[in-house]
Amino acid sequence: MVQKIFEEVPLEVLQHDLEKYRQRALELGAADARIITTDMILIDERVRGKCHFPRCGSFGTSAHCPPHAMDLDQVRKIVKKFQYALFTMFKVPSEEMIGREAISKGLIARGQMKNFEIIAKIEAEAFYDGYYLAMGFAGGPCKRAFCPDKECSALVPGKSCHHQGKARSAMEAVGMDAYLMAAKAGWEIYPVGASSIPSEVPHGTRLGLVLIY
């Protein structure tokens, strides 16, 4: 049921709703989910710098990736307007996130899509609960998940994203240090790259964030 918008959300309503979103993330497949205060969101220019050096293959190919994603000063200002966020994590088998087979079989994209879907659903539910400014961020390039074989329509003047209900900027695309945030949350997270060997990595990790109120 759609909820009315409050000028100021009563504390007991806010606490109830935040816990509801946390539980909802777990129901949708997250291994863990935490309600955090927005001062725990870490924004670092070095994270955005890693999109440039070494240059990510998705750089410039999506409206949600650098250089088109929001700049860090704008992100900092937006984050400061919020008090609470939902931080989510779900684990992915290493063989579904690392190696040529994971790419050729579309396993990487499958894990990314699940992450985007969790974030989009929580954001939408918060919106209809009256938190109309709720804003979600997932992980990894949305183009790799949704449009790997075609150009990003959102970069074409007069057109919008074909998957605007799900596609979002990644946390790292807007400078959020998702790895350090996960480590501070006590979650196990490992660096993976082109040279990683699945058997040497306990599991892959997908992270997401929804700014709520």
Flag whether pLDDT at 107 surpasses 90. no
pTM: 0.93
* pLDDT for position 85: 98
Flag whether pLDDT at 2 surpasses 90. no
Structure tokens at 165: 């209900």
In a domain, 158, yes or no: yes
* pLDDT for position 201: 93
Digit-coded pLDDT (tens) for 46-97: 999 999 989 988 999 999 999 999 999 999 999 999 999 999 999 999 998 8
In a domain, 82, yes or no: yes
In a domain, 6, yes or no: no
- Which has the higher per-residue pLDDT, 97 or 133? 133
Counting the structural domains of the chain, the total is 1
The parent domain of residue 65 ranges over 11-211
In a domain, 5, yes or no: no
In a domain, 4, yes or no: no
Place of tokens 């009563």: 10
Confidence band, pLDDT 50/70/90 cuts, at residue 32: very high
Average pLDDT, the chain: 93
| Dihedral Cα 154, 157, 159, 160, nearest 10 deg | 30
Confidence band, pLDDT 50/70/90 cuts, at residue 7: very high
CA distance 195 to 201: 11
Secondary structure, 3-state, 84-150: EEEEEEEEECHHHCCCHHHHHCCHHHHHHHHHHHHHHHHHHHHHHCCCCCCEEEECCCHHHHHCCCC
In a domain, 2, yes or no: no
In a domain, 17, yes or no: yes
Q: Is cis: bond before 54, omega within 30 of 0? A: yes
In a domain, 174, yes or no: yes
Digit-coded pLDDT (tens) for 155-186: 999 999 999 889 999 999 999 999 999 999 99
* pLDDT for position 177: 98
Average pLDDT over every residue of 100-106: 77
